[in-house]
Amino acid sequence: MRFFTYNVNSVNARLPLILEWVADAQPDVCAFQELKCIDEKFPYEAFESLGYNVAVHGQKTYNGVALISKSPLMDVEKGLPGEDEDEQARYIEAVVDGPVPVRVTSIYLPNGNPIGTDKYAYKHRWYQRLIARAREILAYEEISILSGDFNTIPFKADLYREPAWLDDALYQPETRAAFQTLKNLGYTDAFDVLPPADNRYTFWDYQAGAWQKNEGIRIDHHLLSPQAADRLKGFEIHKDARGRTHETAKPSDHVPVGVELLTEN
């Protein structure tokens, strides 16, 4: 089975391109982030017509996460535990039904900029909540994938030019350490196992010709539980999605990132 994560940067504004990619790529499961719509405005029928089950945790204008799956989605949980007053729609979790069930997530970790503000503090509170939930998931001893836009650049090699990011929340030592903490729990970054030879970036800004100059960063990740890592077969970054065009929509600044797992007993 092939599991993808894709920050779509407004699902309705980019729907023709998203549907085109889904029809071409045929992911078994895809985690979407940054929907920028409430649940009722999500284009359910468009994805259901392609054979997908859908679970959505939306928010007006901002954030929003979703899961689409060719197999039924069970035990859907919306929102990350640990801060009851948090109303931002940044996390959804479910179990993909099948002969070998797989627990999946769609994560949209806060950006955190600018440093030294409440936004940065919120990013790291959210990270600690994610670490706590990730630890609980590991205890289930299931095939599990933490997928999404982590707004974290793990290493210097994951950006085009380091000086431009030294004062950015995505590349702070504290941010990178939090991501490493998730790995230290027992998760494997699929990219570390099967890095593509031709490209490691997953995001290119709209500004200053970043796409044309290939000035990208890697912030969209799949972290695999040990049971999932044992079944890892493939890793792919669909860089071409960033260059797709449509008369009514322009592409997201992120591209789909996928892993393939052996899911037969």
pLDDT tens-digit series, residues 129-175: 999 999 999 999 999 999 999 999 999 999 999 999 999 999 999 99
pLDDT of the residue at 252: 98
The domain segmentation of the chain, as residue ranges, is 2-261
List the alpha helices (DSSP H) in 93-189. 118-139, 173-185
N-terminal to C-terminal alpha carbon distance within the chain = 13
- For 194, 233, 252, the CA distances from 198, given in Å and listed in that order, are 12, 18, 20
pLDDT of the residue at 208: 86
pLDDT of the residue at 263: 86
Band of pLDDT at residue 61, cut at 50, 70 and 90:
very high
Query: For residues 219 and 149, is the Cβ–Cβ distance under 8 A?
Result: yes
Residue 265 has pLDDT above 80, yes or no: no
Q: Can you give the pTM of this predicted structure? A: 0.98
Give 232's DSSP letter.
E
Query: For residues 170 and 111, is the Cβ–Cβ distance under 8 A?
Result: yes
Architecture of domain 2-261: 4-Layer Sandwich (3.60)
